[in-house]
Amino acid sequence: MVGRDLKPSDHPKKDVRRVLEKWVGQGWMLRKEGHWGKLYCPCEAACTTIPISGSPQNEGAHARRVDRLASRCPLPPEAPNRSLTGRARD
């Protein structure tokens, strides 16, 4: 694991904060990484990591995108979009 833990309340944008609160409440982990942070799914395969922007151009769109990506977990191992949102295939 890289970076320290972040709390959803650390995020400066309300819409994003609300989505982070929802997923962290379901066991997702939020780490300080990249431009602001990354959200790690809690499933056994750890299929999904989602980059979280600290200053999205459109906070509503960013919040919806994070929500949509998070709702895909757990992805099946053969999912073609797995490499886009998750860790490397191997």
- The size of the chain, in residues, is 90
- Let me know: does 2 contact 49? Beta carbons within 8 Å: no
Residues 34-53 that bind Zn ion (CB under 5 A): 41, 43, 47-48
Q: Which is nearer to Zn ion, 47 or 69 (CB)?
A: 47
* Binding of Zn ion by 69 (CB under 5 A): no
* Binding of Zn ion by 74 (CB under 5 A): yes
70 to 37, 59, 63: CA distances (angstroms): 14, 16, 11
State the residues that interact with Zn ion by CB under 5 A: 41, 43, 47-48, 73-74
